[in-house]
Amino acid sequence: MGKGNFITTFLAFLLLVSMVLAMVFSISAFIMERKIVKELRVVKSALSEKISINSDRISKLENMLAPNSLFDRYVNAVNYFKNAVVDLEAIFTEMNNDPTTGYIKFFVIGYDPVWITVKKGNTILFSKDLKPGLSPYRFYYFKKPKIETEYTIVVPPDSTIVVGIPGRVYALVFGVSGGRYHPTKVVQLKTSRINNLEKDLSLYIPKK
């Protein structure tokens, strides 16, 4: 075989191998493409299903939260009854007019709330910001009220009062009486701490 024929045969062989490899790669690429397309279809189908489910859920949630919906009516009903209960609590508290009991109410002056804490030793009996004006809370230092509400707090006569801003809080004392009315007095809380209600506010406590 001559040199020229060998080169021609070798080139033909390389061309054939290249064509075979090209066909193999093409078939592999085609199979891979079909596989990827199939997987993408599965993912797309699952994603579409999830989107559809979530869309239904969002639609139902929007209907539930829409004005005049069942949820909206439920919230309004809860708020109504909650406010009604609070109003009734305040009314029942004011109905307590037993002069044989002794209690204190706080009056806050100024424009900002004042923090007040009532405690006995390390036990916190009351701790809250009180808005300006007359507070609805009654602190009974002698005898429990006949009607107890969220605004009635029973405290020992030797309780301690801590005032956030001294001078801006007045204690309205409704003292103990054997008659029809409470004897009353007003005491300005000029210090940040009243260590003993009975002693510092000169409260009258009937002997048992």
pLDDT digits (tens, 9 = 90+) for 53-91: 777 777 766 666 566 555 556 566 556 555 555 566 666
Predicted pLDDT at 26: 72
C-alpha 83/C-alpha 88 separation (Å) is 9
126 or 99: which leads in pLDDT: 126
C-alpha 177/C-alpha 102 separation (Å) is 8
C-alpha 166/C-alpha 105 separation (Å) is 16
Predicted pLDDT at 9: 72
- According to DSSP, the residues that pair with 172 across neighbouring strands are 105, 186
Predicted pLDDT at 82: 58
What is the DSSP code (8-state) at residue 30? H
- With a pLDDT cut of 70, the percent of the chain lying above it is 71
Query: Is the CB of residue 118 less than 8 Å from the CB of residue 161?
Result: yes
The structure's pTM equals 0.59
